[in-house]
Each structure stands twice: as structure tokens, then as C-alpha cells.
Amino acid sequence: MYALCAGIGLRAPHVTRVLAEKPRIPWLEVHSENYFAAGGAAHDALERIRADYPLSLHGVGLSLGSADPLDPAHLGRLRELVDRYQPAFVSEHLSWGAIDGMHWNDLLPLPHTREAAALLVDRIHEVEESLGRPILVENVSSYLRFHAGMSEAEFVADVVRRSGCGLLLDVNNVYVNSVNHGFDPVDYLRAIPCGVVAEMHLAGHTRKTGLPEPLIIDSHDDFVSAEVWALYERAIERFGPRPTLIEWDARIPPLEALIEEAARATQRLEACRAELA
């Protein structure tokens, strides 16, 4: 469908223009939780957008990796959303965000242990059974890692392999973590099985200075960096062209900037396809 094109994450400041002007954007992704309300203007807009664009739903609050059970109300609302909008992809994160009923509303890092991997596999199956369809899971950026356990790439590969779900490979997150935790990002890509990547994400980040070691914050507030574009090219060489999304969540620029950034990704996807042909 839109395998060889890059879309954008649709955020509130751009909804009015997308509705009015229907710009040429191959596909759009929205955060699932932004549409959890029972009704209202956001749904009216998304109904109209869904009629004109392929759509994917990207969840940020389900807390797949929490030792607590999944929140049935949250899962129920996600199911209603999936039933209503019939998205091309539904994705969640390989992270946790709640414990003992308290939610931190963040994508918190998991230990790369067998216990955490087994829990994620069970939870992915639970979500897929509830939604009646497969989901993708995304590797997250992190600012700390726990002692012991597998490397992050081994952990992600293990979860994806054992659960059978697809991977939403966030290339920026791989790069951010490679700097924050001192590993080779290309080695990370090599550790991921070739056939599992179903979608990729790209975003901007912020490099902190004046610290005793390098640190990058996954801020989604800038253009994709040269290093991430280079890693993206390595990723599509390895995994083939995959639907790709530009995420921009803070200091959001005019819509044109996102469309141009998506076009840069599409050029790379087309070049990869030409090489494969």
C-alpha cells in the first residue's frame, strides 16, 4: 500500500490545515490516547481524515511491560478505536509506565531480562487477542540501563521473535541509545532479524553538552540528524524499504517542514527500491 512512502505524525496544530487543504501526504499516524475521548471535535476530524488518508494508531500509554496487569479500560478504549478507524497498523512500545495503579505517562526503560521479555510476549499476545489483529512494538529511547541481562538489541529481537509480532524500528531511538549507552548502532541493526521490521520511525533529538559523558534526549523537536539519516540508510539496506514516519512532538514547525522531511525519507526508500530492482 504505502510501503515505499514516508508519512507524518499528525499533531493538533496541523489538523485544521490537513482537513482544509488535503495536502499530499502518503499516510498519517496519530497517538491512540489522543482519541480516547468518547466524542467531540477530535473524532469528527479523524473521521474525515481517515476518509482521505491511510492511518495508523500509535499507543503511548498501555504500559505493555508493567508488572501490573494491563488496564482493561485502556485496552477497551483502544479496541473501540481500532474497530472504528480500521488502521493499517496498531503499535505500542517496549516499555512500562505504571505500577501499583500509578501511571507515570512516560516510556520507561525495562531491564533486558528473561522475566521482562516473557512478560512482554504474554502481553503482546493478550493485546493482539483483545484487538483481534496483530500489533507492532517499538524499541524505545532510554537514559539509563540496568545491570545484568541481554543487550537491548538481543532483548528486542527475542521479544519480537517469540511473540511473532512485527517491529516498529525507531531508528532515532537506536541512535540515541547507541550514544547514551555506548554501543555500535549498526551492530544493533545486525542483531534484529531481517523479516520482522514492518515500520520505521525517524525524529529529531537534542544533544546535551557539558556532561561527563555523551547524552542525547529523544526530544522530537528538530529535524532528523545527519547521523540518523545515515543509520536509516543502513536500516533500509538491511530490512528493505518499509513504511516510515516522521515524528515531531515539540516546537512543532509548519506542516511544510514535516512534509519535506517525509519527502527526504521517501527519496531514500525509492533509491533503495531502485537498487533492489
Partner 1 sequence: MPSLRELQRGFAAAMHGRAGEIIAAIDGGALGAGARVGIYRNAIAATRLRTLSDSYPAVRALVGDAFFERLAYRYSDLNPSRSGDLCVYGARFPQFIEQSPEAIEPVPYLADIARLEWLRQEAALAADADSVPDPMPRLPAAADPRRLRATLHPSLRSIRSAFPVFAIHRWCDAPAEPAPRLDDGAECGLIWRSDGEVAESAIHPASYAFVEALREGGTLADAAAAGEAQDDGFRLRDCLDGLLDRGLIVDFTPQAGSS
Q: Residues in the site for partner 1, rule: CB under 8 A?
A: 33-34, 36-41, 43-44, 60-63, 65-67, 71, 73-74, 77, 96-106, 108, 110-111, 113, 115-116, 119, 143-149, 182, 211-213, 215, 217
Question: To the nearest whole angstrom, how small is the minimum distance from the Cβ of residue 237 to partner 1?
Answer: 31
6 conformational bin, left if phi > 0, alpha if psi -120 to 50, beta if neither: beta
Question: To the nearest whole angstrom, how small is the minimum distance from the Cβ of residue 9 to partner 1?
Answer: 17
Q: Return the axis-axis angle of helices 226-239 and 255-276, rounded to nearest 10°.
A: 40
In degrees, rounded to 5, the angle at the alpha carbon of residue 254 between the alpha carbons of residues 252 and 260 is: 105
Question: To the nearest whole angstrom, how small is the minimum distance from the Cβ of residue 201 to partner 1?
Answer: 19
DSSP for residue 92: E
Nearer to partner 1, 104 or 184 (CB): 104
Question: To the nearest whole angstrom, how small is the minimum distance from the Cβ of residue 215 to partner 1?
Answer: 7
Question: To the nearest whole angstrom, how small is the minimum distance from the Cβ of residue 62 to partner 1?
Answer: 6
Cell of 183: 554501543
Helix, coil or strand: residue 164:
coil
Nearer to partner 1, 149 or 253 (CB): 149
Cell of 118: 516473557
Dihedral of alpha carbons 275, 56, 185, 195, sign: negative
Contact 172, 205 (CB under 8 A): yes
Dihedral of alpha carbons 221, 124, 134, 3, sign: positive
Contact 149, 185 (CB under 8 A): no
Nearer to partner 1, 68 or 128 (CB): 68
Question: To the nearest whole angstrom, how small is the minimum distance from the Cβ of residue 258 to partner 1?
Answer: 21
Nearer to partner 1, 33 or 170 (CB): 33
Nearer to partner 1, 62 or 169 (CB): 62
Nearer to partner 1, 6 or 18 (CB): 18
For residue 88, CA distances in Å to 30, 168, 194 come to 12, 13, 21
